[in-house]
Chains A and B, each alone.
Chain A
Amino acid sequence: MTTLTIEAGAPRGAACLSPPGAIARIARREFRDAAASRWFLLYTIGFAVLAIGVSFMSLAGSGSHGLAGFGRTAAGMLNLVMLVVPLMALTAGAGAIAGERERGTLLYILAQPVSRTEVILGKYLGLGLALCCSVWLGFGLSAGVVAWRAGGADVDAFLLLVLFTCALALAMLSVGVLISVMSRRVGIATGLGLFVWIALVFLSDLGLMAGTLIFKLRVQEVFAIGVANPLQAFKMSVIVAMNASLDVLGPVGVYASRQFGGSLAWILSGVLGAWIVTPLAAAIVLFSRRAPA
Chain B
Amino acid sequence: MINAERVVKKFGRVAAVDGVSFSIEPGSALALWGSNGAGKTTLIRSLLGVIRFRGKITVDGIDVRRRGKLARSRIGYVPQELAFHDDARLASSMAFFASLRRAEPGAASAALEKVGLAGHERKRVRDLSGGMKQRLALAIALLADPPIIVLDEPTSNLDAAGRGDVVETLRKLKASGKTLIFASHRPDEVISLGDRVLVLEKGRLVSDTSPAELWPTEKAVQTLRLDLGGADEEAAAEILRGAGHAVHLNGRGLCVSVSRERRGVPLSVLASRSIEVRNFEILDDVRREADGSGPKQALTAHGSVR
Task: Judge if B248 is at the interface, Cβ distance under 8 Å.
Answer: no
B50, B101, B131, B145: the one contacting A110 at CB < 8 Å is B50
Rounded to whole Å, the gap between the CB of A239 and the closest CB of chain B is 42
Q: 8 Å CB contacts to B: which residues of A1-21?
A: 1-17
Please report the C-alpha to C-alpha distance between residue A103 and residue B103 in the assembled complex, in whole angstroms. 26
- Are B70 and A1 closer than 8 Å at their CB atoms? no
Q: Does the CB pair A4–B116 fall under 8 Å?
A: yes
B169 contacts the other chain (Cβ, under 8 Å)?
A: yes
CA–CA, A244 and B96, complex, Å: 48
Measured between beta carbons, the chain B residues less than 8 angstroms from A103 are: 83, 85
**A266 CB–B CB distance under 8 Å:** no
Determine the chain A residues whose CB is within 8 A of the CB of B299 once the complex forms: none
A284 to B83, CA, bound (A): 23
Number of A-B residue pairs with CB-CB distance less than 8 Å in the complex they form: 119
A16 touches B113 (CB 8 A): no
Question: B73 on the interface (CB 8 Å rule)?
Answer: yes
CA distance A9 to B114 in the complex (A): 16
Q: Is there contact, CB below 8 Å, between A105 and B83?
A: yes
Q: Which residue of B lies closest to A117 (CB)?
A: B69
* Smallest Cβ-Cβ distance to B146: which chain A residue: A14
Are A14 and B101 closer than 8 Å at their CB atoms? yes
**Interface pair A6/B176, CB less than 8 Å apart:** yes
Docked pose: A258 CA to B36 CA in angstroms: 69
Give the total of A residues in contact with B, Cβ under 8 Å: 38
Given known A4-B169, A6-B175, A289-B52, contact A114–B69 (CB-CB < 8 A): yes
User: Which residue of chain B has its CB nearest to the CB of A32?
Assistant: B92
Can you list 15 A-B pairs with a CB-CB distance of less than 8 A? A8-B176, A8-B177, A13-B60, A13-B74, A13-B145, A14-B103, A15-B102, A25-B100, A29-B96, A103-B85, A105-B83, A108-B82, A108-B84, A112-B72, A113-B72
Of the residues A1, A14, A36, A111, contact of B135 by C-beta under 8 Å = A1
* B79–A12 CB distance below 8 A: no
With known contacts A16-B102, A17-B102, A113-B70, A4–B114 Cβ distance under 8 A: yes
> Is there a chain B Cβ closer than 8 Å to A115's Cβ?
yes
B280 within 8 A of A: no
Contact assessment for A115 and B146 in the assembled complex, using a CB-CB cutoff below 8 Å: no
Whether, in the assembled complex, B166 has its beta carbon less than 8 Å from a beta carbon of chain A, the answer is: yes
Establish whether residues B51 and A14, one from each chain, have CB atoms under 8 Å apart when the complex forms.
no
Interface of A is mostly: loop
**Contact A1 to B166, CB < 8 A, known contacts A6-B114, A8-B176, A17-B102:** yes
Q: A89-120 toward B: CB 8 Å interface, digit per residue (1/0)?
A: 00000000000000111011011111100100
Assembled-state Cα–Cα distance A8/B75 (Å): 17
A121 to chain B, nearest CB (A): 14
List, in ascending order, chain A residues with CB within 8 A of B52's CB. Answer: 289, 291
Contact between A112 and B102, CB atoms less than 8 A apart: no
Q: Which of B73, B116, B166 contacts A113 (CB 8 A)?
A: B73
Interface string of B80-113 (1 = CB under 8 A from A): 0111110100000000110111110000000001
B130 at the interface (CB under 8 A from A): no
A105 contacts across to B, CB distance below 8 A: 83-85
Task: Say yes or no: A11-B145 contact (C-beta < 8 A), given A105-B85, A107-B50, A111-B50.
Answer: yes
Question: Is A292 an interface residue when CB atoms closer than 8 A count as contact?
Answer: yes
CB atoms of A14 and B102 under 8 A apart: yes
For chain B, the bracket of interface size reads: 35 or more
Say yes or no: A107-B100 contact (C-beta < 8 A), given A2-B116, A11-B145: no
- From B51, B100, B177, contact of A17 by CB (8 A): B100
The reply to whether B147 and A11 contact each other, CB–CB distance below 8 Å, is: yes
Further contacts, 6 of them, CB under 8 A, given A12-B145, A14-B144, A291-B52? A5-B172, A8-B176, A12-B147, A113-B73, A113-B101, A289-B52
Interface membership of B270, Cβ < 8 A:
no
Asked if A33 CB lies within 8 Å of chain B CBs, one says yes
Closest 3 CB pairs of A and B: A104-B83, A11-B147, A113-B73
Which residue numbers of A lie inside 8 Å of B, CB to CB? 1-17, 22, 25-26, 29, 33, 36, 103-105, 107-108, 110-115, 118, 289, 291-292
A13 pairs with B147, CB closer than 8 A: yes
Q: Closest residue of chain B to A17, judged by CB?
A: B102
B100 lies within 8 A of A13 (CB): no
Cβ of B115 under 8 Å from chain A: yes
Bound state CA distance, A62 and B209, in angstroms? Answer: 86
Question: B166 — nearest CB in chain A belongs to which residue?
Answer: A1
Say whether B176 contacts A7, CB under 8 Å.
yes
CB distance from A16 to the nearest CB of B (A): 4
B69 near A113: Cβ-Cβ < 8 Å? yes
Query: Does chain A have a CB within 8 A of B165?
Result: yes
Q: Which residues of A contact B147 (CB under 8 A)?
A: 11-13
Q: How far is the CA of A115 from the CA of B50 in the complex (A)?
A: 9
Chain B residue numbers with a CB within 8 Å of A33 are 85
Q: Which of B286-306 contact A (CB under 8 A)?
A: none
B241 interface residue per 8 A CB criterion: no
Cβ contact within 8 Å between A9 and B50: no
Complex Cα distance, B93 from A105, in Å, reads 12
Smallest Cβ distance from B50 to chain A, in angstroms?
5
A291, B16: Cα distance in complex, Å: 14
B residues in contact with A17, CB < 8 Å: 100, 102
User: Given A107-B50, A114-B69 in contact, is the A25-B96 Cβ separation under 8 Å?
Assistant: yes
Give bound CA distance, A26 to B100, whole Å. 8
Looking at the assembled complex, report how far the CB atom of B86 sits from the nearest CB atom of chain A, in whole angstroms. 8
Q: Report the Cα distance A112→B116, complex, angstroms.
A: 23
A16 to B100, CA, bound (A): 8
Distance from A5 Cβ to chain B, minimum over Cβ atoms (Å): 7
